[in-house]
């Protein structure tokens, strides 16, 4: 066996190292050597996780199948048992390192390790963890002030929640109470959460249907790749006008959308769409809700919030995920005038924005600023997008590369003219990339889009590794 290949295989830059419990047998080694012959180097990283002695993947899978929701799904045929994480890397039960290019929309790292965030959480936990309501606490007020400071216009009042779903439910309820109307307009292919109201506003997949809610209308998606009007946002916006004129009494409670649809397959709304729709909604007396659960917190690089790239100011902004880098927290930010509607109701959230979560999330915000992660998202994201664009020129199967900053999508089609979704091929490429040490997400209406949303500490070397690995996987198709 060639020595240099073996050396490379188990070097610290190979995803096959360090193996705490090496996959036994000649078969595994020869299979690995075969891959190593073409395997690009994962950027070196000076960290080895502590040994893992816990239950193995098969046992966890068995328990999960027996005791957890049958609706849970896995990304891979053989689900990974991830036991450690550091910055943009994850480690499985054998100590094998993976580049996490999906990350659950974590901001500062994969969601587990930034020393300043950990310290803030530990200090606050040692001192006090309690409910958000009832008493004064500086952690909650300080973070609300800092968050309001990141907002444009009069968006100054913060309601904390435990998740993105709760944030969107609250935003839609506020819009209904404020306007006295029930009708909400959302986009086809949108995802806004997993409770009744938000699942009504969701119209995401063709393989599962949303939960039907009365008074929810789904407007034409201003999808620049597949949409009938290409990149002409104003033409798509007419559909919202028509819904209001013919589908409602002429008034609406609100309109909710992301600036870049995340679960929907990294679809950036066509330029001109949001300004036109916001104008129409305001004219009909409704409120405009920006769901920043994925695009917010510097991810798009060019702006801190996704909606800013469209030159609009919403009435309500919702957020989660990146706000806490993995801590369960979400928020709704609105104007003092709109916020008043809840004073006429008994509204509170017991743990939404509790002291520990707000202390942690405040630390996340400080790290984003201190480490200039927005700038990094712009620089590394643009670099990665260019490299993915070059892959598109080489591989016919890549129909579209899109997105902004570190929120990028790669759409796979078997026929560029027909835009036929390459559903089976994408699954195969994803498995191959995982085997070579790169984890990406998958989504879109047809499930044929790679979602690349790594933690914002992602580097150019990581971007190179990801594209080299994708190139190899595609070349093998």
Ligand X SMILES: Cc1ncc(COP(=O)(O)O)c(C=O)c1O
Binding site for ligand X (CB under 6 A): 163-165, 168, 191-194, 258, 262-263, 291, 293-294, 320
Of the pair 168, 210, the CB lying nearest ligand X is at 168
Residues 216, 163: Cα–Cα separation, whole Å: 22
Task: Give helix 115-127 / helix 355-370 axis angle, nearest 10°.
Answer: 160
- Nearest distance from residue 407's CB to ligand X, in Å? 11
Of the pair 199, 470, the CB lying nearest ligand X is at 199
- Sign of the torsion formed by the C-alpha atoms of 266, 271, 276 and 282: positive
Residues 168, 243: Cα–Cα separation, whole Å: 21
- Nearest distance from residue 105's CB to ligand X, in Å? 7
Of the pair 85, 193, the CB lying nearest ligand X is at 193
| Residue of this chain nearest to ligand X (CB atom) | 164
Of the pair 186, 467, the CB lying nearest ligand X is at 186
Of the pair 293, 422, the CB lying nearest ligand X is at 293
- Nearest distance from residue 142's CB to ligand X, in Å? 23
Of the pair 124, 453, the CB lying nearest ligand X is at 453
- Nearest distance from residue 138's CB to ligand X, in Å? 26
CA distances from 270 to 145, 258, 385, 414 (A): 33, 12, 18, 24
- Nearest distance from residue 294's CB to ligand X, in Å? 5
- Nearest distance from residue 165's CB to ligand X, in Å? 3
- Nearest distance from residue 300's CB to ligand X, in Å? 13
Of the pair 109, 172, the CB lying nearest ligand X is at 172
């Amino acid at each position: 066996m060639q020595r240099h290949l073996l050396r490379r295989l188990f070097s610290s830059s190979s995803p096959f190292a360090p193996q705490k419990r090496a996959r036994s047998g000649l078969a595994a080694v020869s299979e690995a050597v075969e891959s190593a012959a073409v395997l690009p180097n994962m950027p070196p990283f000076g960290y080895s996780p502590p040994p893992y002695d816990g239950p193995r993947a098969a046992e966890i899978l068995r328990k999960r199948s027996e005791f957890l929701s049958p609706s849970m799904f896995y990304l891979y045929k053989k689900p990974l048992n991830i036991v450690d994480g550091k910055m943009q890397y994850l480690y499985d039960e054998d100590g094998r390192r993976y580049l996490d290019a999906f990350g659950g929309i974590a901001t500062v790292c994969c969601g587990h390790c930034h020393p300043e965030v950990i310290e803030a959480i530990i200090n606050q936990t040692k001192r006090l963890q309690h409910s958000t309501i009832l008493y004064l606490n500086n952690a909650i007020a300080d973070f609300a002030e800092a968050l309001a400071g990141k907002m444009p216009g009069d968006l100054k009042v913060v309601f904390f929640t435990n998740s993105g779903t709760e944030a969107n439910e609250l935003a839609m309820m506020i819009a209904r109470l404020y306007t006295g109307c029930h009708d909400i307009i959302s986009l086809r292919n949108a995802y806004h959460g997993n409770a009744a109201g938000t699942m009504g506003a969701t119209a995401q997949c063709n393989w599962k249907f949303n939960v039907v809610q009365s008074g929810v209308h789904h407007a034409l998606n201003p999808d620049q790749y597949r949409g009938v009007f290409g990149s002409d946002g104003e033409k798509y916006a007419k559909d919202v006008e028509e819904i209001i004129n013919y589908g409602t009494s002429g008034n609406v409670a609100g309109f909710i959308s992301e600036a870049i649809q995340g679960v929907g397959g990294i679809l950036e709304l066509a330029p001109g769409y949001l300004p036109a729709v916001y104008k129409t909604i305001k004219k009909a007396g409704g409120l405009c809700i920006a769901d920043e659960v994925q695009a917010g917190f510097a991810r798009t690089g060019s702006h801190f919030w996704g909606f800013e790239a469209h030159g609009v100011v919403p009435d309500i902004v919702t957020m989660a995920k990146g706000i806490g880098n993995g801590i369960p927290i979400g928020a709704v930010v609105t104007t003092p005038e709109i916020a008043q509607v809840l004073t006429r109701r008994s509204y509170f959230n017991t743990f939404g924005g509790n002291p520990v979560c707000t202390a942690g999330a405040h630390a996340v915000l400080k790290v984003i600023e201190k480490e200039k992660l927005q700038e990094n998202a712009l620089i590394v994201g643009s670099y990665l997008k260019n490299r993915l664009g070059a892959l598109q020129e080489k591989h016919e199967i890549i129909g579209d590369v899109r997105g902004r900053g570190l929120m990028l999508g790669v759409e796979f089609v078997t026929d560029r003219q027909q835009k036929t979704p390459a559903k089976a091929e994408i699954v195969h490429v994803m498995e191959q990339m995982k085997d070579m040490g790169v984890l990406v997400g998958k989504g879109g209406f047809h499930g044929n889009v790679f979602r690349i949303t790594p933690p914002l500490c992602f580097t150019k070397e990581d971007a190179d590794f990801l594209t080299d690995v994708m190139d190899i996987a595609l070349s093998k198709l």
